[in-house]
Amino acid sequence: ERWLFLGFFFAFAVKAPLWPLHTWLPNAMQESTAPVAVLITAVVDKVGTFAMLRFCLQLFPEASKWATPVILVLAVISIIYGALLAVGQRDIKRLIAYASISHFGFIVMGIFAMTSQGQGGATLYMVNHGISTAVLMLIAGFLISRRGSRLIADFGGVQKVAPVLAGTFLIGGLATLSLPGLAPFVSEFLVLVGTFTRYPVIGIVATFGIVLAALYTLVLYQRTMTGPVKPEVAAMPDLRVREIAVVAPLVVLLVFLGVYPKPVTDVVNPAVKQTLSDVQKKDPQPEVEAAK
């Protein structure tokens, strides 16, 4: 069972992608057009994490529990490593790719924490990450097509000439760093709480990923959207009606699911309950001192 589990998990970890099997994603994102990049990170990559829930845990429950400590360590490394590399990127698309690697670390961590909050948050995270990354990557695609460059240093002062574009980019960035009130916050909070109840050290270390996410997101916005207007972007047009029509529904979903995630959690929670039953895991009971 353990050998079969490792074979399945290896394939799904490449797809996820989980460190150290992540190296294909930044290159693929860098060379892809914006729609293809959205398809890769928002949809295709979720096959890996969904398959961990659907096949690894349910086909090989004992092997999954046996491998959990190592997988949680790999997930935490993905969170911190991806965020640190995102901070140092000069290419917009590669920055978003490394940010996604960090987010997938949270998803894998929630799955193998094997608590209802962790797995529920991880499944919800798959949905929310797809929406937030789609917004960010689409706006990045609009920026790159207008400027003809992926380099962060080639932008500056965009919010003065294209305020709607800059505002939408900010919303996507704030969702990426899991700002309260936007959809990813709910899922990331559930993953951290669900992990902390069973593996407190892992949960505490993973929290640093949130700090780093704020760093790379806000620095990206500052360098591209604020400051003096560079001559090359002075004539940059704002979002057109067709572009707004593409992005607006995603922004509405980010806000709606951030305030009211119940429509998704009602679908997710019964499946999570069944998965935990299959692996014979129960949520840790809170330790409360008996009243004297």
Inside any domain, residue 87: yes
Q: What is the DSSP string of 30-76?
A: HHS-HHHHHHIIIIITHHHHHHIIIIIHHH-HHHHHHHHHHHHHHHH
Does a structural domain hold residue 285?
A: no
- Structural domain range at position 203: 2-278
Q: Is residue 261 part of a domain?
A: yes
Domain contains 270: yes
pLDDT 10s digits, 21-34: 888 888 888 778 87
209 within some domain: yes
How many structural domains compose the chain? 1
Assign 97 to helix, strand or coil: helix
Structure confidence at residue 155 (pLDDT): 84
Higher-confidence residue of 282 and 129: namely 129
Assess if residue 287 is contained within a domain: no
What share of the chain has pLDDT > 70, as a percent? 96
Instruction: Say which DSSP state 230 is in.
Output: P
- The reported pTM is 0.86
Tens of pLDDT, residues 92-119: 888 888 888 888 888 989 888 888 888 8
Q: What does the block give as tokens for 4? A: 């079969």
Q: What's the pLDDT tens digit per position in 126-177? A: 888 888 888 888 888 888 888 888 888 888 888 888 888 888 888 888 888 8
Task: Answer whether residue 290 is part of any domain.
Answer: no
* Mean pLDDT computed over 48-65: 85
Token pair of 86 as six digits: 């995102």
Q: What is the pLDDT of residue 283?
A: 66
pLDDT of residue 119: 86
CB of 194 closer than 8 Å to CB of 116: yes
pLDDT band at 120 (very low <50, low <70, confident <90, very high): confident
Residue 235 falls within a domain, yes or no?
yes
